[in-house]
Structure 1
Amino acid sequence: MMRPIAVDLFAGAGGMSLGFEQAGFDILAAVEHDPVHCATHEYNFPDCAIICKSVTTTTGLEIRENSDIGNADIDVVFGGPPCQGVSLMGKRALDDPRNELMLHFVRLVAELNPKYFVMENVKGLTIGKHKGILTEVITQLQASGYEVEADYKVLNAAEYGVPQDRRRLFLFGCRRGFQLPKYPLPVTRSAVPSNQLKLNGMELPVGPTVWDAIQDLPEAENYPQLLDRDWVTAPHGKPSNYAAPLRWQTDPQNYSYERLYHPELLTSSMRTVHTNLSIDRFSAAPPGTIEPISRFPKLSPTGICNTLRAGTGADRGAYTSPRPIHPTTPRCITVREAARLHSYPDWFRFHFTKWHGFRQIGNSVPPNLARAVGSSIISALNIQPQKPMGIVLPGDLKLLGFTLSEAANYYGTDRKAMGSRTRISNNPNKLQSKLQELDSTGPTLNAQKFSNDNLIPIMAIA
């Protein structure tokens, strides 16, 4: 079965890759300069060619030759080039070295010549001095043979079934001769009392809350194993309507490949050790407020999450972005809880360390939002998405434990891509097969159990 072909530029750990796969695309190539992110992307998308280098030195021909794309017509190229500054005095915005990645996005779109492109960026690009950068990008894309949607939109993930206030600009365009896609219509209104969002005069359903996202997850504080590793086998609670498809892969509108994983395996959940003073402060802070000393937001179980951010790499100070406080337990949320608030499914794994894991989530587009955008491109292509057959086995577990130096050596690239933090001790054994590899992180899986619905949750939840 042939599915439309997509290329992910600035791929990170793979939020947009996942969303577009869920919309019905095959992501055949991804470009990412950070080798730690590349390793996580490779683990979760083992059939996608990951090109671990900067887009500034990557060509369209290189992407084609180092993937299964070859001479095939690409259906969509998408990505979120970082934009770090307004124009220097007397220069065009795209001549500013801080904005060169935007220019290289345009260049690669022109070289790859896809039918469609999607550029994601911060909402601030639409206002003030930064708007000049966006205007120049549009002009460059038009000069490269593309129609660009002039009425560009800022989309809020909370209006697309994500329990998080996260607003991002999306710029659509198509090769001349194709029809411009339409922006996806909102499907939910965020779970805040003042939100009365309507569509065609009808009030939209309330979207998922923080508690909908995380209430079925085991309490990390109950498992001492999570002090020095990121996984444990634990019974889960009954999932909400939002959490069920993230846990069981049962969404009929999800056209991604099934993944092999164990639904009772809690991953990306290494605990944070807080002082007694911090625990007391976290307990005293009312839900939905900012804890005054740490300035950490405390989540309200009936509300939505603030925008999850990535922090910075060592080249910009290695600052960790404030992590929200759990709504009922006096601690910061885990990486898995952040992933749930970002609409990542439970089979998707992140780097073993909290610092890299939160960076990977905070840098990414929520998959549910990316899926809505990808579905708009599918509609413009006049394609009926199809669920692919078969199950994708995850990549090698060692990919999730690499230090920056190890990841750089693995990909043969420069370790200066991003800053590093000390990771947990991890020395996974060399395994004979993917199933044996999964054995090392949870209950025994073997060929006889491979078809057991308790282990391979493809069936619907009653």
Structure 2
Amino acid sequence: MDNGKTTLATRPIAIDLFAGVGGFSLGIEQAGFDVLVAVESDPVHACAYKFNFPLTEVICQDITQVTADTIRQAALKAWIAHYKTDTLWDGKIDLVFGGPPCQGFSLMGKRLINDDRNHLVLEFCRLVLELNPRYFLMENVPGMVAGKHKTWLNKLKNKFKHHGYHSRAQILNAADFGVPQRRKRLFFCGAQAGIRIYFPKPVAGLVTVVDAIADLPDLDSFPELKTTDQVLLSFEQLAQAEQKISVYAQTLRESNYFAYPRAWNPQLLTSSLQTQHNQTSIARFAATIANQREPISQLRRLDLNGLCHTLRAGTGSDHGSHTSPRPIHPILPRVISVREAARLHSFPDWFRLHQTKWHGFRQVGNSVPPLLAQAVGKSIITSLALTPVSPQMVLTQGDLQLLRFDACHAKQYWLMNE
């Protein structure tokens, strides 16, 4: 990593309160912000975040135990240790953002008004008020504004208004912002007096499944992917893939927008561990037509020329460790890989996820699609009357062991690094 001075002083400062693996953070970074601190309670997700965002201080703690002072100390450490600037951080924060767990509000779940996870939105509110940013941004499911759950949003609006923030909420669909997936999410924004709130307008045209994954090779061609999630493509294989690549896929292989460029090897295909199906399942998958469910597994087959349905995360170990249904590949008789899911979610190819399929799919499904987050982030840049600056520092990602820890070892890692 280059240790020279950066343009940080001219980039606005952001804090991520429910970071997950970093999809939201990446989109906000792409819009022109520097994310100094990320808070994430799941140690496996926190490790993957640390791998992909080496400049960000990661706090792996339960959000209810995190204080504004802890975040400010971490932000100062990030500024001093990573940015090497002559000017000390003035303590001002432009944006606090995050997506509190949404299962209690989700239309797919039981929608219990007293679900413990619902109360995490109040923790978001608490830290926003303690940190006093110019702007805040919360992402959640549309179910938060349906039925009795509206009371939660009204409670938040009133509390923020009492402390000088005006706010707005709007539901956005990722497919309207260049993501090849139908995924509607609620964005609740607030700003201090005198700052207008804007929401992004949909972009023209749809990106489809074929745009997202047509250039990725057949995983069954690589025997090594039975036991590892990565394989080095030959120059010939890479050239064959590039002949099929779409404009969308090409943008996911390049340093773009206002994000820090990452050093990575385009020949290395990652997050591609095979799923081993029996012959009966393979035959059923092969017989399933596009956009229909296979009758036994109830898995839906992707339509090559359509949009992916919403990719979901399943549940963590604290709620039964249930695996979310994985779509069937539009051409091949198998479920999609983690990398294919990442492409359908607008993660760039340099972005690495946990080596196991279970954690990898959870990390994708729990994330805000980066391109959707970037669109909202650009609107905030406009609201704050800022001109984004492209950073010159090329980042080298972290230790690969961070993507290999099981939950127990990941927890030990953070206990040792507090």
Question: Do these two structures clear the TM 0.5 threshold for a shared fold by scoring above it?
Answer: yes
Aligned equivalent of 1:379, options 350, 375, 382: 382
The DSSP-based 3-state class of the residue aligned with 1:297 is coil
Q: Using the alignment, how far apart are the partners of 2:47 and 2:384 within structure 1? A: 31
Once the two structures are TM-superposed, the CA of residue 84 in structure 1 deviates from its matched residue by: 4.4
Does structure 2 retain, via aligned residues, the 8 Å contact 1:23–1:255? yes
Does structure 1 retain, via aligned residues, the 8 Å contact 2:113–2:149? no
| Runs of 5+ unmatched residues, structure 1 | 87-92, 188-203, 414-462
Once the two structures are TM-superposed, the CA of residue 82 in structure 1 deviates from its matched residue by: 1.9
Aligned alpha-carbon RMSD (Å): 1.6
* Runs of 4+ with deviation above 3 angstroms: 83-86, 93-98
* Counterparts in 2 of 1:318 and 1:25: CA distance versus 1, 3 Å: same
Aligned equivalent of 2:250, options 244, 247, 254: 244
Give the residue type in structure 2 aligned to 1:182: Y
The DSSP-based 3-state class of the residue aligned with 1:11 is coil
Does structure 1 retain, via aligned residues, the 8 Å contact 2:13–2:33? yes
Aligned to 2:152: 133
Aligned to 1:229: 228
Aligned to 2:137: 118
Q: Which structure features the higher share of helix residues?
A: 2
| Runs of 5+ unmatched residues, structure 2 | 1-6, 80-88, 106-111
1:326 aligns with 2:326: no
Aligned to 2:84: none
Aligned equivalent of 1:336, options 318, 334, 339: 339
Aligned equivalent of 1:312, options 302, 311, 315: 315
For residues 184-223 of structure 1, what are the structure 2 equivalents within 5 Å? 184-187=200-203, 204=204, 206-223=205-222
Aligned to 1:172: 189
For residues 420-459 of structure 1, what are the structure 2 equivalents within 5 Å? none
Aligned to 1:427: none
Once the two structures are TM-superposed, the CA of residue 368 in structure 1 deviates from its matched residue by: 0.1
Deviations 1:261-281 (A, max 9, x none): 011110000000000000000
1:49 aligns with 2:57: yes
* Greater relative contact order structure (CA < 8 Å, 6+ sep): 2
Q: Using the alignment, how far apart are the partners of 1:143 and 1:289 within structure 2? A: 49
The DSSP-based 3-state class of the residue aligned with 2:253 is helix
TM-score, normalised via structure 2 length: 0.89
TM-score, normalised via structure 1 length: 0.81
Aligned to 2:348: 345
Once the two structures are TM-superposed, the CA of residue 100 in structure 1 deviates from its matched residue by: 1.8
Aligned to 2:108: none
Deviations 1:236-282 (A, max 9, x none): 31210110010122x4xx10011000111100000000000000000
Percent identity between the two aligned chains? 52
Give the residue type in structure 2 aligned to 1:181: I
Give the residue type in structure 2 aligned to 1:180: R
Once the two structures are TM-superposed, the CA of residue 210 in structure 1 deviates from its matched residue by: 0.2
* Counterparts in 2 of 1:273 and 1:83: CA distance versus 1, 3 Å: closer
Q: Using the alignment, how far apart are the partners of 1:25 and 1:399 within structure 2? A: 25
Deviations 1:205-257 (A, max 9, x none): x21110110011111110010001000012231210110010122x4xx1001
Q: Using the alignment, how far apart are the partners of 1:295 and 1:96 within structure 2? A: 28
1:275 aligns with 2:278: yes
Q: Using the alignment, how far apart are the partners of 1:313 and 1:79 within structure 2? A: 19
Does structure 2 retain, via aligned residues, the 8 Å contact 1:8–1:77? yes
Q: Which moved more, 1:136-145 or 1:64-73?
A: 64-73
Once the two structures are TM-superposed, the CA of residue 181 in structure 1 deviates from its matched residue by: 2.0
Q: Using the alignment, how far apart are the partners of 1:267 and 1:306 within structure 2? A: 23
Does structure 2 retain, via aligned residues, the 8 Å contact 1:210–1:341? yes
Once the two structures are TM-superposed, the CA of residue 138 in structure 1 deviates from its matched residue by: 1.1
* Counterparts in 2 of 1:7 and 1:94: CA distance versus 1, 3 Å: farther
Once the two structures are TM-superposed, the CA of residue 128 in structure 1 deviates from its matched residue by: 0.7
Aligned equivalent of 1:36, options 22, 44, 55: 44
* Counterparts in 2 of 1:276 and 1:96: CA distance versus 1, 3 Å: closer
Once the two structures are TM-superposed, the CA of residue 144 in structure 1 deviates from its matched residue by: 2.4
Q: Using the alignment, how far apart are the partners of 1:129 and 1:314 within structure 2? A: 28
Does structure 2 retain, via aligned residues, the 8 Å contact 1:83–1:102? no
